[in-house]
Amino acid sequence: MPDRLGPRFAEPMFGKLTIIGFGLIGSSIARAARARNAAGAIVACDHSDEARARIGQLNLADEIHALPEKAVAGADLVILCTPVGACGAIAEAIGPHLQSGAIVSDVGSVKGAVVSACASHIPARAHFIPAHPVAGTEQSGPDAGFATLFLNRWCIVTPPEGADVDAVEKLAAFWRALGSNVEFMTPAHHDLVLAITSHVPHLIAYNIVGTADDLEQVTESEVIKFSAGGFRDFTRIAASDPTMWRDVFLNNKDAVLEILGRFTEDLSALQRMIRWGDGEGLFKLFTRTRAIRRSIIESGQESPAPNFGRNAKADE
């Protein structure tokens, strides 16, 4: 498995790349694309004055804009990197300003709703090909990005029916250039896969942190002191960007409710095992879950280092 990005291309894959929404993901795309010379010029667009100022200070782009409709002029590839709730309005704003042959993509954690919100606004002369790089950290903003964020991670591309084959392949090649493996899916299947691998895990992490915060019998100071027992791991996930996650849940309602229903059923069964003292049932589940982790480590999606101890061994 490669541990770094490939060498610079002699010729950039795209002339002009416009990134709309320049946070963790957007700024990581810019850094990786620059490192590989995947775009001749990078145009950054962000509605926040503060973000635009930082992009300038960090020298992450060749042009910086506040308005999406200005930022897409002459762009060969446009990637929407805003929370998914904002994509529809941006697609509407940029539609008339896209040049012929431009590819418009996104990075949203939800695909069905994004496709519905955007597709009608992208004119026939451009190609709308949604995608989702499954990578991230719990941090936000242009400073949080880094060039290797997508290395060895999967990018799911969900081309609409009848999408231009060359445009799809060009987008896939771009993500591979950033270090990703590419997989193709329908938007509906993507949304179900992400509901179980990402959305519901985030929801239950947010939920347990909220439950802890509300307890009267256990003080907040106790929760914090003794968080090394496992709770700490949930707070990391529950520190992710609130706007992004609000939009995910509002836009992937059906799949999230479906998976949540199963989660709750399973939890009721576990609760019953505890109440009735079914040690064998508990042991059986706790053993089965170990095997999945081994597979995740073997597939290169996780390190086997005892991270629960926060790399304490290194300090020894």
Give the binding range for a second copy (CB under 8 A) out of 41-49, 115-123, 151-159, 168-176: 151-159
Cβ(255)–Cβ(199) below 8 Å: yes
What are the helix and strand counts (H, E) for the chain?
Answer: 13, 9
Q: Which is nearer to a second copy, 119 or 223 (CB)?
A: 223
Q: Which of residues 86-145 bind a second copy (CB under 8 A)?
A: 109, 134-139, 144
In terms of DSSP bridges, do strands 39-45 and 14-20 run parallel, antiparallel, or are they unpaired?
parallel
Both tokens of residue 52?
């635009």
Cβ(7)–Cβ(33) below 8 Å: no
Give the binding range for a second copy (CB under 8 A) out of 44-52, 96-104, 157-165, 287-295: 287-295
Q: Which is nearer to a second copy, 57 or 301 (CB)?
A: 301
Q: Shortest approach of a second copy to residue 261 CB, angstroms?
A: 9
Q: Shortest approach of a second copy to residue 66 CB, angstroms?
A: 24
Q: Shortest approach of a second copy to residue 82 CB, angstroms?
A: 15
Q: Which of residues 222-251 bind a second copy (CB under 8 A)?
A: 222-240, 242-243, 245-247, 249-250
Closest CA to 158 of 182, 135, 184, 139: 184
Q: φ and ψ at 154, to 5 degrees?
A: -95, 140
β-bridge partners, 184? 157
Three-state DSSP at 293 gives helix
Q: Which of residues 155-214 bind a second copy (CB under 8 A)?
A: 156, 181, 183, 189, 192-194, 196-214
Give the binding range for a second copy (CB under 8 A) out of 14-22, 52-60, 165-173, 294-302: 294-302
Q: φ and ψ at 97, to 5 degrees?
A: -105, 0
β-bridge partners, 20? 45, 80
Q: Which is nearer to a second copy, 66 or 267 (CB)?
A: 267
The residue from 126, 149, 171, 178 that contacts a second copy (CB under 8 A) is: 149
Q: Shortest approach of a second copy to residue 240 CB, angstroms?
A: 8
Percent of the chain as helix, strand, coil, to the nearest 5: 55, 10, 35
Q: Which is nearer to a second copy, 126 or 135 (CB)?
A: 135
Q: Shortest approach of a second copy to residue 251 CB, angstroms?
A: 10
Rounded-to-integer distance, Cα 102 and Cα 14, Å: 10
